[in-house]
Amino acid sequence: MIQVFHVTKAFQRVVAVDDLSFELEQGGSLALWGSNGAGKTTMIRCLLGVFPFRGSVTVKGIDVKKHGKQARSFIGYVPQELAFHDDARLGASILFFARLRKVGREDAAVALDAVGLRGHERKRVRDLSGGMKQRLALAVALLADPPIIVLDEPTSNLDASGRGEVVESLARLRDAGKTLVFASHRPDEVVSLAERVIMMERGKLIRDTTPSKLWPAYAPVQTIRLYLSEGTDESAAAVLREAGHAVNLNGHGLCVSVSRNRKAEPVAVLAKASIIVRDFEVLEDIPADGNAGSEDLT
Amino acid sequence: MTRFLTILYALLAFVGVLTGQPVAAQNQAVDAIHSLIEQAEPGSVVHVPPGVYEGNLVIDKPIILEGGDQAIIDGLGQGSVVEIRAEGCTFRGFLVRNSASGVDREPSGIRVLAGNSTIENNRLEDVLFGIDLQNAPNSKVLNNEILGKDLGLARRGDGLRLWWSLGCTIKGNTVKGLRDMVFWYSEDLDVSDNRVSDSRYGLHFMYSHHTSVHDNNLSENAVGIYLMYSNTIDISHNTIRNNRGVSGYGIGLKDCDSITISSNALLANRVGIYVDNSPSAYDSTGLISDNMVAFNEIGLLATPITHNNIITHNAFLENEEQAAAHGGGNLSLNSFASDGIGNFWSDYAGYDKDGDGIGDIIHEPKSLFRSLIAREPNLRLFVHSPAQQAIELTARALPELNPKPIFVDPTPLTRVPDLTLPSDGQTTTGAPMGVLAVVLLTIACGSGWLVFRQQPFPNVLPTKVSHTIGRGRA
Amino acid sequence: MTTMAVQPGRTESGAHLSRIGCILAFARREFRDAVSSRWFLLYTIAFTVLAVAVSFMSLAGSGSQGFAGFGRTTAGLLNLIMLVVPLMALIAGAGSIAGERERGTLLYVLAQPVSRVEVLLGKYVGLAAALCCSMCIGFGLSAGALAWRAGSVGIGAYVMLIVLTCGLALAMLSVGMLLSVVSRRSGVATGLGLFAWLVLVFLSDLGLMAGTIIFKLRVQEIFALGIANPLQAFKMAVIVNMNASLDVLGPVGMYASQTYGRTLPWLLASVLVIWAIVPLLIALIVFKKRGSI
């Protein structure tokens, strides 16, 4: 799906990406992991072919340097922070990108629906919360249903609950068969989403491995579906959000994303608020054991 | 239908035979008219039947030749078409066409070689010279229309020429596309209500004195009126517009004494009034008053030696340069006010405290850029540009850069004087311009609407949602 | 790589259509942004008010006799146009790319399936349309004033004036976009735009005047140097169009009229066209080669 051969990119004298190569199969998910300034963002931009670089990148066999436009049509991109014109309205913004992606107004509406932003079309971009902006960016990235999603620190500007939301959305996309490439410096995201990690340092590839090898004892995020009494979904969601959990309401029930080692916490919180949990179910089962996670989602 | 037409034609032909008038005039030789003249008594009226007469007509008997607006005399491109040799002839109501075009013998539409002639209501087409009066005093040239050959200006002849013809009346003629309407050595003329356009000199006077030139309309010529070595001429109520040849004077004077220029409208010429050494006699004066001098490149242009002109009660309106001295210098030998009445200058920057219509400070225009142009004519390229404004502003800020004024009007008028001007005759409807305005505004608003119109965001059924990505807290 | 390689460029016409679609999408957005921005509103109002005022002032005092020099109005408008329109177009162009770069939106749009050429051309088209609309408002209301007070004398020349002014705006916009592409920050780009304005409107003319006086340049040299400046070319084109010759501009103008005759308007118009195309082309090349985001 994606092939990166000896990519090198230098800005004046600073080498941001130094002779990086990797390949990624369709449906794979890959994290570029490293500290700030390791060259993750630059690598992602090379992948998108937005500026010249040495080496080559092909996306579905298409050279991004020669046919960048076509290559990018297979990629949905989510930037670190949504960069829309602040004065523009949400509806107009997504329609603009819909036009660039050659999809119709209906698809734009579907995309907004999918990220729960319907009804906000008249809002100006500057009035959106960070989470809404990120969801809008996701909606844009998904406009033409591209096979590849590329994300640059997708959660860095979000609070904990927003982060959970995004991570969960991405997990669904991955499960739906999308190829995922993202830059991150948060181990929890990497563990939750990536099958493969490329560790970068000063532009160089240090290790090409899997999250479980990199953090064998790390507790990943799991999503729990709670089955509650009729009509208490809304109030339960409010209570959980109050407690700092990432909550997601859909037709089937209420989903909470928590770290593996804290699965009981939402139930306890709800119990305290006298909301009865009839049942719960763990949606994702990432094989990982241990409970020594020093970082978690909340 | 065709049968009906056939019958009609037959009937018409029959009527024609009865009345002796040819229906479809056969071209015939001009000798037909010669024989009519031969049979006529001197002083009698000779009616020329309708038709085309080919050849050169010579009138050598004092008669009144009447064309009834239906007789055509065609010179077949040979010589002058009509020549009048007898005194006291009247030539009226003809279409005269097709003179020779070589300039050497000066072929004319109508050549008049005898006095007391009247040339009236004729139309001349395709002629090298139009009407040419030589030694034909006390003649009248009235209401003729003269159209020239389609030739370059250098190869054209004069539309109307007087040569040693005193006391003539030239009135109501229209000349289009010839060289000059020119008066040589001819005095006591009345030149009025003529219309000259697309020619070289509208009216041109050479050594022709004591003449009144009024109510003419001269437009789109190289020069409107040009007077050379001609004295005591009264120029009034003429409309002189858009004469923009190389010299492009509305009215030009060279070495002329006792000239009065009053109540003319001088509009959009290269130069409104040009004065070169006039008056030339030391004790003579010229008067320029009550004129509307507007929208010309230069309103009044005079050589620096020009003196003794009185310029009063004119309106100098929005001329690119209101008054200038030709080749540098100033106009201080002339007076720009008479009896405390100056002129209206649209660029006057003073005020009128007591409201008497006369500005309280003198008008002495200074322009650094103008003085630069006077020194270096090539700089004229930069008129109409912001750089010119920048230079003027600089000069205003730094008074030591200020040049001397070109003239001084001690009592400038603060209101456009009420002038009795000739009516312009150019009345245009604002409709096309209004349509243009509407079109432009529609373009602007329409494209704004196209881009900004709000379409309702489509409603999509939930079933169409193909890839739900986890519902956030909407 | 296991999946089948997709052949680049499906069909020629399809690619062209997609290209035009992208350009129009950018043009539309740029038009929206421009029209709803404060500077644009300000310039439009200023231009309109001044244009209408000039029309009225030129007509005032000429009486009801229809003297109403259309030519005079044009001469007055000429100065105004040469000051305001280049400023407007240069600043608009200068802000276009540099502003997006500074806000970080440039990267985001470039990450979409679009090419840099499309982005730049789309912005150019959108801004050009916005500028032309702004001028249509000014000229439209001015035409209304003329229609009301002066009739329709010189309507043909007036239309040509509008066309030429739009040409001037396109040329200046093209220069502005070049400045925008080469500068990293929008402040720098705006500064460069102002400087370019100063140079084109004042300094080059003043310099040429000084050169004329000091070096005693010959008419053909002055003319050649003069029309290199798009503003001078514009001015001469307007005057030729109005008077059928450049004699008004003194010996240099007479030289031009005599030498080039009927081709002169075309020569002058082509100067504007060149100024509209060449800087934009350079901007395209720089934008593509440098790959700055």
| For residue C6, pLDDT beyond 70 | no
What CA–CA distance (Å, rounded) separates A31 from A44? 11
Residues A254 and A273 in one domain: yes
CB pairs under 8 A between A and C: 98
More confident position, A155 or B201: B201
Domain assignment of residue B414, yes or no: yes
For residue C148, the chain B residue with the least C-alpha distance is: B430
Residues of B within 8 A of C62 (CB-CB) are: 294-295, 317-318
Domain assignment of residue A158, yes or no: yes
Q: With an 8 Å Cβ cutoff, is A142 touching chain B? A: yes
Question: How close is the nearest chain A Cα to the Cα of C175, in Å?
Answer: 23
Q: Which two tokens stand for residue B346?
A: 């649209």
Chain centroid, CA B18 distance in Å: 49
Among the ranges given (A31-45, C32-46, C145-159, C215-229), the one the predictor scored with the smallest mean pLDDT: C145-159
What CA–CA distance (Å, rounded) separates A119 from B378? 68
Q: With an 8 Å Cβ cutoff, is B3 touching chain A? A: no
Give the pLDDT band (50/70/90) at residue B468. Answer: very low
What mean pLDDT is reported for chain C?
85
Residues of C within 8 A of B320 (CB-CB) are: 75, 248
CB–CB contact C251 B433 (8 Å): no
Residues of A within 8 A of B452 (CB-CB) are: none
Residues B123 and B242 in one domain: no
Query: Which among A199, A214, A229 is the end of a domain?
Result: A214
Residues of C within 8 A of A177 (CB-CB) are: none
Taking residue A9's Cβ as centre, other Cβ atoms within 10 Å add up to 22
CB–CB contact A70 C33 (8 Å): no
Each residue's pLDDT tens digit, B402-456: 778 889 999 999 988 887 777 655 556 778 888 999 999 999 999 988 888 766 6
Residues B261 and B409 in one domain: yes
For residue A110, the chain B residue with the least C-alpha distance is: B465
Residues B135 and B264 in one domain: no
CB–CB contact A248 B467 (8 Å): no
Share of chain A above pLDDT 90, in %: 20
Among the ranges given (A153-162, B252-261, C280-289), the one the predictor scored with the smallest mean pLDDT: A153-162
Average pLDDT of B126-130?
A: 94
For residue C163, the chain B residue with the least C-alpha distance is: B440
Contact B307, B286 (CB under 8 A): no
CB–CB contact A138 B469 (8 Å): yes
Chain centroid, CA C43 distance in Å: 14
Pick from C22, C25, C111: CB nearest A50: C111
Q: What is the DSSP string of C90-106?
A: HHHHHHHHHHHHHHTHH
Pick from A25, A48, A86: CB nearest C2: A25
DSSP letter at B85 equals -
∠ Cα C153 C157 C161 (to 5°): 130
| For residue B204, pLDDT beyond 60 | yes
> What was the pLDDT predicted at C59?
62
Q: What share of chain C is helix, strand, coil (3-state, %, to 5)?
A: 85, 0, 15
What CA–CA distance (Å, rounded) separates B218 from B240? 5
Give the pLDDT band (50/70/90) at residue C8. Answer: very low
Each residue's pLDDT tens digit, C13-31: 666 777 888 899 899 989 9
Residues of A within 8 A of C291 (CB-CB) are: 50-52
Interface residue of A22, A25, A100 to substitute, partner C, most C CBs within 10 Å = A100
Domain locations along chain C: 20-290
Contacts of A186 (CB under 8 A, 6+ apart): A155, A295
Residues B188 and B241 in one domain: no
Q: B198-201 long-range CB contacts below 8 Å, 24 or more apart?
A: B199/B148, B199/B156, B199/B159, B199/B175, B200/B153, B200/B156, B200/B245, B201/B225, B201/B226
Interface residue of A110, A168, A250 to substitute, partner B, most B CBs within 10 Å = A110
Q: Which two tokens stand for residue B305?
A: 């030696």
What CA–CA distance (Å, rounded) separates C208 from C226? 7
What CA–CA distance (Å, rounded) separates C237 from C241? 6
Residues B186 and B276 in one domain: no
CB–CB contact B472 A113 (8 Å): no
Residues B49 and B170 in one domain: yes
Question: How close is the nearest chain B Cα to the Cα of A43, in Å?
Answer: 26
> What was the pLDDT predicted at B62?
94
Residues A262 and A118 in one domain: no
Average pLDDT of A159-181?
A: 84
Among the ranges given (A266-275, B226-235, C165-174, C216-225), the one the predictor scored with the smallest mean pLDDT: A266-275
Each residue's pLDDT tens digit, B273-324: 999 988 988 888 999 999 999 888 889 999 988 989 999 999 998 888 899 8
- Tell me the CA distances in angstroms from B291 to A62, B197, B245, B267, C48, one per residue in order: 80, 21, 22, 10, 34
Residues A13 and A158 in one domain: yes
Residues B160 and B255 in one domain: no
Q: With an 8 Å Cβ cutoff, is A99 touching chain B? A: no
The DSSP element (H or E) to which C89 belongs, if any, is helix C70-103
SS3 C35: helix
Q: What share of chain B is helix, strand, coil (3-state, %, to 5)?
A: 20, 35, 50
Contact B190, B233 (CB under 8 A): no
For residue C29, the chain A residue with the least C-alpha distance is: A96
Q: With an 8 Å Cβ cutoff, is C41 touching chain A? A: no
Contact A6, A56 (CB under 8 A): yes
Residues A118 and A17 in one domain: yes
What are the strands, taking DSSP E only, across C158-264? none
Average pLDDT of B196-216?
A: 95
Q: With an 8 Å Cβ cutoff, is C231 touching chain B? A: yes
DSSP letter at B283 equals T
One-letter amino acid of A201: E
What CA–CA distance (Å, rounded) separates B152 from B176? 13
Residues B245 and B359 in one domain: yes
Query: Which among B131, B165, B199 is the end of a domain?
Result: B199
Residues B44 and B118 in one domain: yes
Q: Bridge partners of B129?
A: B108
Give the pLDDT band (50/70/90) at residue A295. Answer: very low
Find, among A95, A82, A77, A78, the residue nearest to A125 by Cα. A82
Q: For the stretch A51-68, what's the b/e string if a residue is b when 16 or more beta carbons lie within 10 angstroms of its beta carbon?
A: bebebbbbbbbbbbbebb
What CA–CA distance (Å, rounded) separates B339 from B234? 21
> What was the pLDDT predicted at C70?
52
Domain assignment of residue B93, yes or no: yes
Q: Which residues of chain B from 412 to 471 reach within 8 Å of chain A, CB to CB? A: 455, 457-460, 462, 464-471
Q: Which two tokens stand for residue C255?
A: 């030289």
| For residue C88, pLDDT beyond 60 | yes
What CA–CA distance (Å, rounded) separates B181 from B195? 10
CB–CB contact C1 A81 (8 Å): no
Greatest mean pLDDT range, A24-38, A187-201, B88-102, C150-164: B88-102
Q: Which two tokens stand for residue B195?
A: 């219309």
> What was the pLDDT predicted at B370?
81
Pick from A85, A97, A99: CB nearest C33: A85
What's the domain range around B357? 223-365+405-424
Residues of A within 8 A of C8 (CB-CB) are: 62, 66-67, 70
Question: How close is the nearest chain B Cα to the Cα of C290, in Å?
Answer: 32
CB–CB contact B462 A113 (8 Å): yes
CB–CB contact A83 C104 (8 Å): yes
Each residue's pLDDT tens digit, A53-98: 999 999 999 999 888 889 999 999 998 877 777 778 888 888 899 9
For residue A141, the chain B residue with the least C-alpha distance is: B469
What CA–CA distance (Å, rounded) separates C95 from C188? 9
Residues of A within 8 A of C107 (CB-CB) are: 45, 50, 79, 83
Pick from C1, C18, C118: CB nearest A102: C18
Bond into B279 cis (ω within 30): yes
Domain assignment of residue B100, yes or no: yes
Q: Name residue, tokens 């704004």.
A: B448
Residues A165 and A58 in one domain: yes
Domains held by chain A: number? 2
> What was the pLDDT predicted at B464?
42
Taking residue B93's Cβ as centre, other Cβ atoms within 10 Å add up to 18
What's the domain range around A241? 221-282
Contact B215, B191 (CB under 8 A): no
Question: How close is the nearest chain B Cα to the Cα of A247, in Å?
Answer: 8
Share of chain A above pLDDT 70, in %: 89
> What was the pLDDT predicted at B123?
96
For residue A241, the chain B residue with the least C-alpha distance is: B473
What mean pLDDT is reported for chain B?
87
What CA–CA distance (Å, rounded) separates B75 from C165? 52
What CA–CA distance (Å, rounded) separates A46 from A55? 10
Average pLDDT of B167-181?
A: 95
Each residue's pLDDT tens digit, A91-117: 888 889 998 888 888 888 888 888 888
> What was the pLDDT predicted at A111?
87
Find, among C15, C32, C190, the residue nearest to C118 by Cα. C15
Residues A210 and A227 in one domain: no
Residues of B within 8 A of A173 (CB-CB) are: 467, 469
> What was the pLDDT predicted at B9?
57
> What was the pLDDT predicted at B8?
56
- Tell me the CA distances in angstroms from C203 to A95, B389, C253, one per residue in order: 45, 13, 21
Residues A56 and A187 in one domain: yes
Question: How close is the nearest chain B Cα to the Cα of A27, in Å?
Answer: 16
Interface residue of C1, C22, C102 to substitute, partner A, most A CBs within 10 Å = C1
What CA–CA distance (Å, rounded) separates B43 from C258? 55
CB–CB contact A131 B472 (8 Å): yes
For residue A41, the chain C residue with the least C-alpha distance is: C107
Among the ranges given (B218-227, B385-394, B436-445), the one the predictor scored with the smallest mean pLDDT: B385-394
Q: With an 8 Å Cβ cutoff, is B473 touching chain A? A: yes
Question: How close is the nearest chain B Cα to the Cα of A243, in Å?
Answer: 15
Chain centroid, CA C26 distance in Å: 19
Residues of B within 8 A of C155 (CB-CB) are: 432-433, 436
Each residue's pLDDT tens digit, C204-213: 999 999 999 8
Give the pLDDT band (50/70/90) at residue A289. Answer: very low
Domains held by chain B: number? 2
Domain assignment of residue B208, yes or no: no
**φ, ψ of residue B156 in degrees (nearest 5):** -85, 160
Classify burial at B225, counting beta carbons within 10 Å of its beta carbon; exposed 0-12, middle 13-18, buried 19 or more. buried
CB–CB contact A77 C108 (8 Å): yes
Give the pLDDT band (50/70/90) at residue C12. Answer: low
> What was the pLDDT predicted at B469?
47
> What was the pLDDT predicted at B343?
95
CB pairs under 8 A between A and B: 67
Reduce the secondary structure of chain A to three states and give it as a string.
CEEEEEEEEEECCEEEEEEEEEEECCCCEEEEECCCCCCHHHHHHHHHCCCCCEEEEEECCEECCCCHHHHHCCEEEECCCCCCCCCCEHHHHHHHHHHHCCCCHHHHHHHHHHCCCCCCCCCEHHHCCHHHHHHHHHHHHCCCCCCEEEEECCCCCCCHHHHHHHHHHHHHHHHCCCEEEEEECCHHHHHHHCCEEEEEECCEEEEEECHHHHCCCCCCEEEEEEEECCCCHHHHHHHHHHCCCEEEEECCEEEEEEEHHHCCHHHHHHHHCCCCEEEEEECCCCCCCCCCCCCCCC
Q: With an 8 Å Cβ cutoff, is C159 touching chain B? A: yes
| Orientation of helix C12-35 relative to helix B431-452, angle to 10° | 100
Give the pLDDT band (50/70/90) at residue B268. Answer: confident
Q: With an 8 Å Cβ cutoff, is A278 touching chain B? A: no
Give the pLDDT band (50/70/90) at residue B19. Answer: low
Residues B150 and B270 in one domain: no
Each residue's pLDDT tens digit, A223-262: 788 888 777 888 888 888 777 676 777 666 777 777 767 7
> What was the pLDDT predicted at B408?
93
| For residue A156, pLDDT beyond 70 | yes
What CA–CA distance (Å, rounded) separates B454 from B414? 55
HSE (CB half, 13 Å, CA atoms) of C86? 27
CB–CB contact B244 C245 (8 Å): yes
Domain assignment of residue A294, yes or no: no
Q: For the stretch B363-388, what's the b/e string if a residue is b when 16 or more beta carbons lie within 10 angstroms of its beta carbon?
A: bebbbbbbbbbbeebbbbbbbbbbbb
CB–CB contact A176 B467 (8 Å): yes
Pick from B455, B466, B474: CB nearest A110: B466
DSSP letter at C261 equals G
Residues A49 and A90 in one domain: yes
Q: What is the interface pTM, i.e. ipTM, of the complex?
A: 0.84
Q: Dihedral of CA C148/C153/C155/C158: which sign?
A: negative
Q: Dihedral of CA B296/B299/B304/B309: which sign?
A: positive
CB–CB contact A114 B462 (8 Å): no
Residues B337 and B411 in one domain: yes
